């Protein structure tokens, strides 16, 4: 499978949403997609974009890929930290855009720094709410989910 940063994002996003539309989940397909996405993310970790936008797209694809995959070669957290470090370098260079909101959102999902969510909301607030694209509406919902559940793998009980 040939991947670039946008196809990595696309495949990783598909993996994150696999079966949410009510379609059946096939273990062999899920496992294969997981492996392909994880292996390609590892391969792309040492790649860099030639522009701020390309670097941001690559960082976004890597963060989504690592969030979506079940595999860990023992170094996954180091890879994620490396991508976060790269993201801090590129975020100030990006204009307010869907790409920046996506990258802010996925950086936020890694360690829940409220300043990242605030910056994403600042950009979202300038969008025309009545004319959101599918991608804009989707990232608004993803950010909301991350903000509402900062412990997605934990069961939280209220006493």
Q: Which residue has the higher pLDDT, 11 or 131?
A: 131
Is the pLDDT reported for residue 1 higher than 50? no
Is residue 100 in some structural domain?
yes
pTM of the model: 0.86
Is residue 54 in some structural domain?
yes
Mark whether 100 and 43 lie in a shared domain: no
What is the per-residue pLDDT across 64-95, written as a single tens digit (0 to 9) for each?
999 999 888 899 999 999 999 999 999 999 99
Structural domain span for residue 62 = 1-71
Is residue 104 in some structural domain?
yes
Our count of domains for the chain comes to: 2
Is residue 82 in some structural domain?
no
How would you write 109-127 as a 3-class SS string? HHHCCHHHHHHHHHHHCCC
Q: Give the contacts of 23 (CB within 8 A, at least 6 positions apart).
A: none
Q: Which of 76, 152, 75 is nearest to 108 (CA)?
A: 152
Which tokens belong to 4?
């670039």
Q: How many other CB atoms are there within 10 angstroms of residue 77's CB atom?
A: 11
What is the per-residue pLDDT across 16-46, written as a single tens digit (0 to 9) for each?
877 777 888 888 888 888 999 999 999 999 9
Q: What is the pLDDT of residue 151?
A: 65
Q: What is the pLDDT of residue 3?
A: 45
Query: Which of 37, 71, 105 lies at the terminal end of a domain, its last residue?
Result: 71
Q: Taking a C-beta distance cutoff of 8 angstroms, is the pair 79, 67 a contact?
A: no
Mark whether 101 and 59 lie in a shared domain: no
Q: Read off the pLDDT band of 56 (50, 70, 90).
A: very high
Q: Taking a C-beta distance cutoff of 8 angstroms, is the pair 13, 5 a contact?
A: no
Is residue 87 in some structural domain?
no
Tell whether the torsion through CA atoms of 17, 137, 133 and 106 is positive or negative.
negative
Q: What is the pLDDT of residue 152?
A: 54
Is residue 155 in some structural domain?
no
Q: Read off the pLDDT band of 5 (50, 70, 90).
A: low
DSSP 92: G
Q: What is the pLDDT of residue 2?
A: 39
Mark whether 4 and 60 lie in a shared domain: yes
Is the pLDDT reported for residue 15 higher than 90? no
Mark whether 108 and 66 lie in a shared domain: no
């Amino acid at each position: 499978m040939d991947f670039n940063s946008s196809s990595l994002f696309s495949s990783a996003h598909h993996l994150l949403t696999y079966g949410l539309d009510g379609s059946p989940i096939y273990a062999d397909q899920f496992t294969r997609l997981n492996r392909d996405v994880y292996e390609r993310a590892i391969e792309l970790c040492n790649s860099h974009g030639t522009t701020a936008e390309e670097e941001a797209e690559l960082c976004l694809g890597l963060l989504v890929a690592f969030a979506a995959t079940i595999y860990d070669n023992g170094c996954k957290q180091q890879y994620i930290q490396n991508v976060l470090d790269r993201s801090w370098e590129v975020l100030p260079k990006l204009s307010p855009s869907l790409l920046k909101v996506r990258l802010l959102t996925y950086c936020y999902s890694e360690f829940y720094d409220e300043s990242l969510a605030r910056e994403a909301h600042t950009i979202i607030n300038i969008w025309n709410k009545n004319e959101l694209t599918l991608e804009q509406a989707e990232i608004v919902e993803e950010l909301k989910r991350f903000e509402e559940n900062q412990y997605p793998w934990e069961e939280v009980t209220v006493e």
